[in-house]
């Protein structure tokens, strides 16, 4: 009863009829939808389709079709079928179940007998609900070779998909293969093992809050099905589940509203995937080829939010030893400070001046009512450097000076710092730079 035991089945129309110079994805009936319907009719008497409705919903879970020859994803020709997952108007079989979803893949890649599992695995990712994570409008390279739903389906000897990449962290979670552990408090010296052996994936967001936007981190080593990854180490994924595809690349200079659903924060900060410069290299993971040990508000690629600027997410002291990653995971400011996202328009924290500064700077804030104010300076890891004000203030403009020293009176080093004011139910944070 296995459909594969039937051997090749000859469709009633020619290959060219179903392809129609449009990769088989043109208008019905000159497409693979019609091919699928014709093939189901031909084998219905020989196959008990009800055996393939594993969830008993009345539908065959998937029909996988192999067409003769090569796929257009290799040849680039409109006269070849481009591998894809698609569906037909539900077709009732003799066995009381419907056929709707199908995938179609080629017989071989370059020469007869050389077919691998890469394309099949990618299309089955679609069957399970995953989107393409390469950029389907080809204005960028999406996630590159770092996942089966990107160009990772082609990894392996000779680049033919014989050892395709595993799904990325986000895809693993969507499939239910792994569950993310939420980091809710700053955690030092966290040991992160290879995700293939332990399933470890961590989710980081401001103060541990969960929303559409967050970071996922995983340790992936070049072993097993990840043997052919361009690089290994700690992978930092920037996720926005309010998006639904990877067609809008973002890099510095573009508006933040345009960005991928699943983006790899490349440690070198060159945004080569977004610029279509490559499909991945040894400098993308942390620490990677460039020994990048920090991911924060001022690293080569920053931890800024797409919507609210500073995310307060920082990964510091990233080290790799014998395939194990150790890092400090920070998800917010001091636990005693509550992060408020809604700021009344009449409350304002101005940019410090001068900025950059050396040796001192002035911070100006306005409050419409009297209240208790807490003004503190933090380093990029979210640690308190200086408490500038902790007391009652009057309504109106208020000025506070900072001489660039810590609470202990020590001079601070050059770099970017965060200053945060909290008054009553209002708060705001900004960046400032000390240059010596």
Sheet with 348-349: list strands edge to edge: 348-349, 361-367, 396-402
User: Percent of the chain at pLDDT above 90?
Assistant: 78
Contact 384, 344 (CB under 8 A): no
Q: Is 70 inside any structural domain?
A: yes
First-to-last CA distance in the chain? 77
Distance of CA 260 to the CA centre of its chain: 8
For 335, counting Cβ atoms within 10 Å of its Cβ (0-12 exposed, 13-18 middle, 19+ buried), the class is exposed
Question: Is residue 243 located within the same domain as residue 325?
Answer: yes
180, 286: one domain? yes
Domain-embedded: residue 135: no
Determine, yes or no, domain membership for 337. Answer: no
Does 341 reside within a domain?
Answer: no
Say if 405 falls within a structural domain.
yes
Task: Identify whether residues 75 and 182 lie together within a single domain.
Answer: no
Q: pLDDT digit string (tens) for 13-66?
A: 999 999 999 999 999 999 999 999 999 999 999 999 999 999 999 999 999 999
Does position 2 have pLDDT exceeding 90, yes or no?
no
Residue 197, in any domain of the structure = yes
173, 228, 110, 38 alpha-carbon torsion, rounded to 10°: -10
Pick the closest to residue 140 from 295, 301, 3, 259 (CA basis): 259
Q: What is the pLDDT of residue 344?
A: 38
> Does the pLDDT value for residue 337 go beyond 80?
no
- pLDDT of 83: 97
Which one of 92, 115, 138 terminates a domain?
Answer: 115
Do 192 and 322 fall within a single domain? yes
pLDDT digits (tens, 9 = 90+) for 303-331: 999 987 788 899 999 999 999 999 999 99
Shared-domain flag, residues 40 and 104: yes
To the nearest whole number, what is the mean pLDDT of the chain?
92
Same domain, 79 and 156: no
Q: DSSP character for 174? A: H
Residue 243 falls within a domain, yes or no? yes
Q: Is 180 inside a domain boundary?
A: yes
- 79 in the same domain as 15: yes
Cβ-based neighbour number of residue 200 at 10 Å = 21
For position 394, which CATH number holds? 2.60.40.4070
* Residues of the domain holding 244: 152-330
Please check whether residues 73 and 221 belong to one and the same domain. no
**For the residues of 220-289, what is the DSSP string, one character each?**
E-SSGGGTT-S--EEEEEEEETT---S-S---TTS-TTS--SEEE--TTS--TTTTTS-S--TTSSBSGG
- Total number of domains constituting the chain: 3
Work out the number of other CB atoms within 10 angstroms of the CB of residue 369: 13
pLDDT band, residue 382 (cuts 50/70/90) = confident
Domain check: are 184 and 301 in the same one? yes
Do 201 and 245 sit in the same domain of this protein? yes
Dist. CA 117–CA 412, nearest whole Å:
55
What letters, b where the CB count within 10 A reaches 16 and e where it falls short, cover 140-168?
bbbbbbbbbbbbbbbbbeeebbbbbbbbb
The pLDDT tens digits of the residues spanning 170-225 come to 999 999 999 999 999 899 999 999 999 999 999 999 877 878 999 999 999 999 99
What is the reported pLDDT for 333?
61
Same domain membership, residue 23 and residue 64? yes
Q: Give the whole-angstrom CA distance, residue 23 versus residue 134.
A: 19
- Is residue 324 located within the same domain as residue 357? no
């Amino acid at each position: 009863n296995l459909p594969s035991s039937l051997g090749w089945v000859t469709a009633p129309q020619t290959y060219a009829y179903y392809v129609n110079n449009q990769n088989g994805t043109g208008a019905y009936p000159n497409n693979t939808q019609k091919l699928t319907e014709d093939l189901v009719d031909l084998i219905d008497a020989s196959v008990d389709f009800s055996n393939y409705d594993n969830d008993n919903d009345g539908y065959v879970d998937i029909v996988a079709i192999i067409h003769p020859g090569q796929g257009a994803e290799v040849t680039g020709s409109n006269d070849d079928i481009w591998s894809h997952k698609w569906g037909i108007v539900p077709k009732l079989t003799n066995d009381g179940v419907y056929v709707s979803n199908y995938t179609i893949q080629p017989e071989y890649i370059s020469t007869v007998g050389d077919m691998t599992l890469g394309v099949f695995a990618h299309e089955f990712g679609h069957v399970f609900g995953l989107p393409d994570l390469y950029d389907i409008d080809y204005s960028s390279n999406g996630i590159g070779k770092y996942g089966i739903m990107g160009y990772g389906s082609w990894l392996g000897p000779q680049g033919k998909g014989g050892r395709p990449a595993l799904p990325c962290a986000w895809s693993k979670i969507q499939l239910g293969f792994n569950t993310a552990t939420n980091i809710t408090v700053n955690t030092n010296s966290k040991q992160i093992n290879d995700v293939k052996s332990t399933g470890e994936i961590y989710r980081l967001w401001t103060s541990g809050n969960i929303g559409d936007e967050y970071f996922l981190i995983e340790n992936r080593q070049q072993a097993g099905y990840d043997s052919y990854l361009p690089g290994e180490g700690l992978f930092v994924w920037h996720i926005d589940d309010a998006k639904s595809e990877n067609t809008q690349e973002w890099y510095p200079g573009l508006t933040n509203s345009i960005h991928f659903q699943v983006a790899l924060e490349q440690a070198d900060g060159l945004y080569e995937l977004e610029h279509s410069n490559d499909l991945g290299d040894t400098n993308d993971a942390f620490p990677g080829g460039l020994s990048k040990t920090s991911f924060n508000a001022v690293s080569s690629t920053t931890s800024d939010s797409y919507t609210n600027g500073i995310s307060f997410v920082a990964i510091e002291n990233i080290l790799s030893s014998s395939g194990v990653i150790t890092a400090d995971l920070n998800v917010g400011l001091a636990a005693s400070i509550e992060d408020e996202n809604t700021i009344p328009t009449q409350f304002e924290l101005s940019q410090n001046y001068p900025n950059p500064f050396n040796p001192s700077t002035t911070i100006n804030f306005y409050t419409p009512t009297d209240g208790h104010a807490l003004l503190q300076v933090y380093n990029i890891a979210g640690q308190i450097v200086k408490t500038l004000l902790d007391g009652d203030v009057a309504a109106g403009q208020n000025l506070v000076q900072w001489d660039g020293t810590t609470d202990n009176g020590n001079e601070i080093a050059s770099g970017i710092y965060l200053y945060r004011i909290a008054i009553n139910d209002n708060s705001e944070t900004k960046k400032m730079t000390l240059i010596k």
